[in-house]
C-alpha cells in the first residue's frame, strides 16, 4: 500500500459522514414526494434520519468490503495506534 494512502477507519468515517448528508436529503425528498401536502415535520424528520443512518451505514459497509485500504493486512499495518 502507498505511504500516502488513507487508513481504512478514516476512509470509512469520511465516506459515512458525506453520505449522511446525502441520505438525509434524499430521503427527505422522497418523503415530500410520497406524502405531498399531508407531510408533517416529525414525519419528514423521521424519514431524513432513517435515510441518513441507512445510506451512511451502507456506504461504510461497501467501503469496508471493496476498498483496497480495508484489506486485513493493510488494516493491521496502517490502523494501529502508535
82 in a domain, yes or no?
A: no
pLDDT at 58: 94
Is residue 49 assigned to a domain? yes
The reported pLDDT for the residue numbered 72 is 77
Domain contains 63: yes
Q: Which three cell numbers stand for residue 73?
A: 493486512
Q: Which domain holds residue 61?
A: 8-76
What's the domain count of the chain? 1
**DSSP result, the chain:** --TTPPPHHHHHHHHHHHHHHHHHHHHHHHHHHHHGGG--HHHHHHHHHHHHHHHHHHHHHHHHHH-GGGSHHHHHHHS---
| Whole-number pLDDT of residue 3 | 58
Ranges of residues in the chain whose predicted pLDDT is under 50: none
- The answer to the question of residue 36 being in a domain is yes
Amino acid at each position: 500500500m502507498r505511504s500516502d494512502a488513507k487508513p481504512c477507519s478514516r476512509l470509512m468515517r469520511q465516506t459515512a459522514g458525506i453520505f449522511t448528508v446525502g441520505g438525509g436529503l434524499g430521503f427527505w425528498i422522497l418523503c415530500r414526494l410520497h406524502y405531498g401536502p399531508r407531510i408533517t415535520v416529525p414525519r419528514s424528520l423521521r424519514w431524513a434520519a432513517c435515510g441518513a443512518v441507512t445510506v451512511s451505514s451502507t456506504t461504510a459497509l461497501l467501503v469496508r468490503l471493496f476498498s483496497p485500504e480495508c484489506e486485513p493486512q493493510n488494516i493491521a499495518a496502517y490502523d494501529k495506534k502508535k
